[in-house]
Amino acid sequence: MSAQETQEREKTGAVFQTSKKAFLLGFKFEPALMTKVVVIGVIITALGLLQLTSFSKVVDEIVSIKQQGGALTRTLFIQMGILAFSFLTPAILQNFMSRFVQGMRLRYISRTNILRIDTFSKLDVSTIEGTEFQTKLERAQQWGVGTLPNLALLVVNVLRDAIEFTISAIILYSINPRLVLLAIISSLPVYFLQKKYSYQLYSLYHNRTDEARIANDRNSFFTNAKKMVEVVLFQLSARFKKEVEEANEIFDNKVLDVHKRRSVATIASDVLGVLCLLIAISLVALQFMHGAILVGSLLLAFTAYRNFTGVVRTFYSDLTQIEDQARYSKRWLELFELTPNMITIPDALRPDWKTPPVITFEHVSFRYPETDVLVLKNVSFTLASGEKLAIVGLNGAGKTTLIKLLSRVYDPDEGKILVDGIDLRDIDLQYWREQLGVLFQDFSNFQMTAAEAIAIVRSNIPIDRDKVLRSAKMAGADEFIEELPKKYDQLLWKGFQDGVELSKGQFQRMAVARIFYRGALISVLDEPTSAIDAVAEEKIFEMLETKMEGKTVVLISHRFSTVKNADKIAVIEHGELKELGSHKELMAKAGRYAELYTMQAKRYLEEV
């Protein structure tokens, strides 16, 4: 077997497996609806072919009665009844079929979206942040989850086509075996043309990911109100418009060229179809003229041939569409089959901590997946129970990476993190994260009521209204929440009717309130006051010091004045731990921390 044949067989196998999975997912999601779609579809197909044979028999019976000069016979009425049944029943069933197909499509998409949420929620951040996952997701989203129900329903169509194909072939073969061969020959080009040009179109869209990403990004500046402000202020519309136009024009021309070539090839295919039809008519006409078949059979032959060629063409078309949809659907199925990189080992530990555990980094080094650059290099330090640790350093030093390792978003490449002497990888992952309260710099804004947006960090228990009020007050969020029309019941999004939009600083105070509400043994805050004014910032850090006594706090901040009261300050530079100690100790050391602190303090004094 040649390499090309092997590749084609693998492609066919992949299409079959993808189609099978999409089809069976339909039965998994909605078994009753899917069964109705399949069964009714088969019945409608069978009855459609019954129309051909019953009409032929009615015609032959009428001709026979006329030739014999007799009266209407019982056989004629029976055949007319069968004919009426074959027309009326599919019409009734088709109404049900349309409803069931629409319901199936809607339910399938809804269930698929739930499956997506369920699958992605079990993945770890390291998988989601990876380039491979993001590329697969973008390619899948180009076509939407609707490709899966489309594929499942196409499988149903192919089953119906196969039944109609078989019955029509039997009818034609009984009249003249050569009609079957002619019908197949006339329809073969359809399959190859559909397959060839559909794949070319798919390849164009598939390989357009990077260009599409750029075009989508530029378009977002004209649909996002906040981004649009910068477009207006910096007069970016002409540049972005040009970039989108250039990207789209190149791509559109490639797509149009494929359609043009397919159109020319299709005309040639149609010419072949007409020639085969003329030959078929000649063969059947000769049979009729020699008395080999009756008038009804003559009509049946013409109708069955046209029906058969239509079925074959539809069958080939559906097959190529299945290949098409399978390519798109495969992207989603691959995503649904992903497993997390970070897992809980069997018999993982769940220590019963009453107080924060001691955390030790032992010679920890780390590089992000798909890179060779060490972001952290041989980092070692110990964080005692209830200590306040501040991490400072320039942008890109590795500060955020350090807390990602602590949160077990990633595991170290070298060294280990110990929690009360236990390797973090030996602790149940979910249990460990229950002990953490983490606020990253790029936090989420939750579009819900103010109370819900604070209490969401403990979504598994009912909202404690008093705790919400206390947490908001500690974060300074109560100042603006109390001024909202519905206070803590106010919807926080302009997209809602009567909803409001908060400023970036207000949203950040809401995020800090969530940390207070969570009340975890270990709280990790990455630049928690970057968008907050100095007065509110001072209050928040005072709350962190006084209201979280006995709890471990890890704080990243670029403002040195806010970290000087921490028990320990870690200076990270180029992924290495350069200094560790209290503010007083580090200032006395007159090293890197003292240099940066003095530089920043001097700048603030000059501004005053």
pLDDT digits (tens, 9 = 90+) for 92-112: 888 888 889 999 989 999 999
Residue 4's pLDDT band (cuts 50, 70, 90): very low
pLDDT digits (tens, 9 = 90+) for 330-345: 888 888 888 887 888 8
Indicate the Cα dihedral angle 393, 397, 402, 405, nearest 10°.
170
Q: What is the mean pLDDT of residues 487-503?
A: 85
Q: What is the mean pLDDT of residues 276-302?
A: 70
Architecture of domain 15-209+254-336: Up-down Bundle (1.20)
Say if CB 455 and CB 462 are below 8 A apart. no
Q: What is the mean pLDDT of residues 260-265?
A: 82
Residues 6+ away with beta carbon under 8 Å from 308: 165, 168, 169, 171, 172, 179, 180, 183
Q: What is the mean pLDDT of residues 491-519?
A: 87
Residue 61's pLDDT band (cuts 50, 70, 90): low
Q: Is the pLDDT of residue 405 over 90?
A: yes
pLDDT for 3: 47
Residue 1's pLDDT band (cuts 50, 70, 90): very low
Q: Is the pLDDT of residue 498 over 50?
A: yes
pLDDT for 340: 81
pLDDT for 518: 92
Report the alpha-carbon distance of residue 418 to residue 437 in Å, rounded: 18
Question: What's the count of helices (H) and strands (E) in the chain, helices before strands?
Answer: 20, 10
**Which class in CATH covers the domain with range 355-435+556-608?**
alpha beta
Q: Is the pLDDT of residue 2 over 60?
A: no
Higher pLDDT, 356 or 8: 356
pLDDT for 119: 86
**Of 236-240, 463-467, 499-503, 594-598, which range is least confident?**
236-240
Closest Cα partner for 85 from 36, 48, 45?
Answer: 48
Q: What is the mean pLDDT of residues 246-260?
A: 80
Residue 67's pLDDT band (cuts 50, 70, 90): low
Q: Is the pLDDT of residue 7 over 60?
A: no
Higher pLDDT, 355 or 233: 355
Please report, as a single letter, which amino acid is at residue 605: L
pLDDT digits (tens, 9 = 90+) for 533-573: 777 787 888 888 888 888 999 998 877 777 888 899 999 99
Note the pTM of the prediction, 2 decimals. Answer: 0.70
pLDDT digits (tens, 9 = 90+) for 145-203: 888 998 999 899 888 888 888 877 777 787 778 878 887 787 778 777 777 777 777 77
Report the alpha-carbon distance of residue 14 to residue 20 in Å, rounded: 10
Q: Is the pLDDT of residue 464 over 90?
A: yes
Higher pLDDT, 596 or 312: 596
What are the sequence ranges of the domains in the chain? 15-209+254-336, 355-435+556-608
Q: Is the pLDDT of residue 118 over 90?
A: no
19 SS3 class: helix
| Three-class DSSP labels, 316-373 | HHHHHHHHHHHHHHHHHHHHHCCCCCCCCCCCCECCCCCCCCCEEEEEEEECCCCCCC
Q: Is the pLDDT of residue 208 over 80?
A: no
pLDDT digits (tens, 9 = 90+) for 387-404: 999 998 888 888 889 989
Q: What is the mean pLDDT of residues 302-323?
A: 76
Q: Is the pLDDT of residue 209 over 60?
A: no
Q: What is the mean pLDDT of residues 350-364?
A: 95
Higher pLDDT, 447 or 357: 357
Report the alpha-carbon distance of residue 449 to residue 453 in Å, rounded: 6
Report the alpha-carbon distance of residue 202 to residue 244 in Å, rounded: 21
Q: Is the pLDDT of residue 8 over 60?
A: no
Report the alpha-carbon distance of residue 244 to residue 191 in Å, rounded: 35
pLDDT digits (tens, 9 = 90+) for 470-489: 999 999 999 999 999 999 99
Q: Is the pLDDT of residue 217 over 90?
A: no
Please report, as a single letter, which amino acid is at residue 129: E
Tell me what percent of the residues of the chain surpass a pLDDT of 90. Answer: 27
pLDDT for 55: 67
Q: Is the pLDDT of residue 135 over 90?
A: no
Report the alpha-carbon distance of residue 22 to residue 108 in Å, rounded: 10
pLDDT for 324: 78
pLDDT for 294: 60
Q: Are strands 359-366 and 436-439 parallel, antiparallel or unpaired?
A: unpaired
